[in-house]
Amino acid sequence: MNQPARLVVLVSGAGTNLQALVDACADPAYGARIVAVGADRDGIEGLARAERAGIPTFVRQVSDFETREGWDAAITTVVERFEPDLVVSAGFMKLLSGDFLERFLTLNTHPALCPAFPGMHGPRDALEHGVKVTGATLFVVDAGVDTGPIVAQVPVPVEEDDDVDSLHERIKIAERAMLVEQVGRIARDGITVEGRRVRIGPASR
Ligand code: GRF
């Protein structure tokens, strides 16, 4: 059997997406294992979840570096040490440098249906716009904000009495399921990105 794909997961907060991946990786048939969890701040539940699961962690905080370029280089160096096949940015609230993205295939989830409502407030912006359906998007990170090639999307209906929290919580349930399913498929079968088109499966000859 092939070696499980090596994942590095980056978090900034609660880490429920991370937890879903940790739980999935407990099954050897899933085809992936998390070799490290990184964060841009200390004292977050995402790191505690990793520690409870016995996964190595690292923190690189922007304010500890004189320049943003210094932080960019530091996060690249530490991730490189873990030799990931795939980096998953799961609620990680920092943009990653071009150099980082060239080295590591990096996926991110966004709690809206891209290209709608990019940025920090996807659920709020969808609610304010009055859409009836929103959702979550898994994409390959590029230089923009939530603009990269789309791997998968899942719709979530907006309920009449939703507020931002209730909507985001329902999106997150769908988002976690999508993340687990697609990362597993990628780990087992591979991924090809050609321009904006993403295909999961063995490379065609
Ligand atoms: C997710 O909805 C993610 O898309 C957004 O922030 C949330 C992170 O949740 N960027 P968690 O830390 O995985 O619980």
Handedness of CA 107, 113, 115, 116 (dihedral sign): negative
- Of 110, 121, 129, 168, catalytic: 110
- Measured in Å, residue 177 CA sits from the centre of ligand 1 at 13
Ligand 1 atom nearest 176 alpha carbon: 13
> 76 CB less than 6 Å from ligand 1?
no
Cβ(94) to ligand 1 under 6 A? no
The residue from 35, 69, 104 where one domain ends is 104
Query: What 8-state DSSP symbol labels residue 53?
Result: T
Asked if 99 and 143 sit in the same domain, the reply is no
Which residues have C-beta within 8 Å of that of residue 165, sequence separation ≥ 6? none
Find out whether the beta carbon of 122 lies less than 6 Å from any atom of ligand 1.
Answer: no
Tens of each residue's pLDDT in the chain, 205 residues: 579 999 999 999 999 999 999 999 999 999 999 999 999 999 999 999 999 999 999 999 999 999 999 999 999 999 999 999 999 999 999 999 999 999 999 999 999 999 999 999 999 999 999 999 999 999 999 999 999 999 999 999 999 999 999 999 999 999 999 999 999 999 999 999 999 999 999 876 5
* Residue nearest (by alpha carbon) to ligand 1 atom 9: 91
CB-count exposure of residue 108 (10 Å: 0-12, 13-18, 19+): buried
**Ligand 1, atom 8: closest residue by C-alpha:** 91
**Distances, alpha carbon 193 to alpha carbons 140, 160, 171, 199, in Å:** 8, 38, 26, 7
Check whether residue 165 and residue 78 sit in a common domain: no
| Model confidence, pTM | 0.96
37 and 120 both lie in a single domain: no
Indicate if 99 and 163 belong to the same structural domain: no
Same domain as 133, residue 70? no
107, 138 Cβ separation under 8 angstroms: yes
Q: Domain range holding 153?
A: 109-205
Q: Which two three-digit tokens encode residue 195?
A: 């321009």
DSSP 120-183: TTHHHHHHHHT-SEEEEEEEE--SSSS-SPEEEEEEEEPPTT--HHHHHHHHHHHHHHHHHHHH
Residue 203 and residue 123 share a domain: yes
Q: How many A from CA of 192 to the centre of ligand 1?
A: 25
